């Protein structure tokens, strides 16, 4: 996947501005250029961001879409409750701010001139408000432990038409690694791209799908 200059510029701006505004981008924004490029390559369509925190990932996607003239709304799913947040980040030794609020998320979006549609809930069970939505792209960056990453993939699997990105595919998060390896072994999703800790999964193209129904070894 080619990394777009626009995505690098947006990622740099968002990471810097959030730090100046008293927040932060997760992992200092290292995955944001890859996420922004993934969303751009999908073209028009809605995006869903699981785990929004101060909004770095969701704002990056919204701003890249805006600057490239791509259509589509950006949804965020995050409960913004202290217990969920602390389970994920407290004890990791982070010295940067972790206590984001939904007000900070929405103010940060306003600062960048983009709109985010927040569903203030856990991503699993899948929110009722989004039960009929279809997304071009999604980003998994919420609960990285236990069944969290797998539940997110299973919930998104049939609702996303192009790419599912995930953060933190690294040894520190074995349940994210397990989810990505599972997803990439399925007929309907492929491992598209990995750079550092970011992974993009691509929906299998109908013409390339090797299902029992259309694969004929005699044709090779
Ligand atoms: C690492 S932060 C996300 C960082 C953000 N994507 C960024 O780019 O800066 C994790 C966020 O996931 C949220 N979270 C944790 N478990 C969740 C779940 N099951 N569903 C939705 N959000 C969750 C937390 O409240 C926290 O805001």
Backbone angles phi, psi at 197, to 5 degrees: -100, 5
Which of 15, 76, 84, 103 should be mutated for ligand 1, with most atoms under 8 A from CB?
A: 84
Reply yes or no: is the peptide bond before residue 143 cis, omega within 30 of 0. Answer: no
CATH of 5-204 given 3.40.50.150, 3.30.1330.60, 3.40.50.300, 3.40.50.1360: 3.40.50.150
Q: What's the gap in Å between 50 CA and the centre of ligand 1?
A: 6
Residue 209 has pLDDT above 60, yes or no: no
pLDDT value for 94:
52
**181: how many CB neighbours lie within 10 A of its CB?**
11
Residue 217 has pLDDT above 70, yes or no: no
Would you place residue 220 in the very low, low, confident or very high pLDDT band (cuts 50, 70, 90)?
very low
Residue 201 has pLDDT above 80, yes or no: yes
Give this prediction's pTM: 0.92
pLDDT value for 204:
95
Q: Half-sphere exposure of residue 66, counting CA atoms within 13 Å on the CB side?
A: 15
Pocket of ligand 1 from Cβ distances under 6 Å: 25-26, 50-54, 56-57, 77-79, 84-85, 88, 100, 122-124, 141-143, 148
Mean pLDDT of 59-63: 98
Mean pLDDT of 195-212: 82
Mean pLDDT of 24-48: 97
Residue 95 has pLDDT above 60, yes or no: no
pLDDT value for 82:
79
Q: What's the gap in Å between 220 CA and the centre of ligand 1?
A: 46
pLDDT value for 195:
95
Residue 215 has pLDDT above 90, yes or no: no
Q: What's the gap in Å between 10 CA and the centre of ligand 1?
A: 20
pLDDT value for 1:
80
Would you place residue 211 in the very low, low, confident or very high pLDDT band (cuts 50, 70, 90)?
low
Which residue did the predictor score with more confidence, 92 or 137? 137
Residue 163 has pLDDT above 70, yes or no: yes
pLDDT value for 206:
79
Question: Alpha-carbon distance 8 to 219, whole Å?
Answer: 43
Residue 90 has pLDDT above 60, yes or no: no
Q: What's the gap in Å between 186 CA and the centre of ligand 1?
A: 26
Structure tokens at 169: 């595919």
Q: What's the gap in Å between 94 CA and the centre of ligand 1?
A: 15
């Amino acid at each position: 996947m080619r990394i777009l200059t626009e995505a690098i510029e947006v990622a740099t701006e968002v990471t810097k501005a959030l730090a100046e505004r008293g927040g932060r981008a997760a992992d200092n924004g290292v995955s944001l250029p890859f996420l922004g490029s993934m969303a751009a390559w999908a073209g028009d369509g809605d995006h869903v961001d699981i785990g929004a925190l101060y909004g770095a990932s969701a704002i990056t996607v919204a701003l890249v879409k805006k600057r490239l003239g791509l259509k589509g709304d950006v949804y965020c799913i995050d409960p913004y409750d202290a217990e969920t947040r602390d389970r994920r980040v407290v004890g990791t030794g982070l010295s940067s701010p972790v206590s984001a609020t939904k007000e900070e998320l929405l103010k940060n979006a306003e600062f960048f001139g983009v709109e985010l549609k927040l569903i203030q809930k856990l991503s699993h069970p899948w929110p009722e408000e989004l039960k009929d939505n279809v997304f071009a792209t999604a980003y998994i960056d919420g609960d990285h432990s236990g069944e969290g990453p797998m539940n997110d993939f299973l919930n998104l699997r049939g609702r996303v038409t192009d790419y599912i990105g995930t953060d933190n595919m690294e040894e520190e998060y074995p349940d994210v690694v397990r989810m990505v390896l599972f997803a990439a072994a399925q007929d309907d999703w492929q491992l598209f791209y990995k750079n550092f800790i970011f992974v993009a999964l691509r929906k299998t193209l109908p013409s390339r799908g090797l299902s029992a129904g259309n694969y004929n070894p005699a044709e090779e």
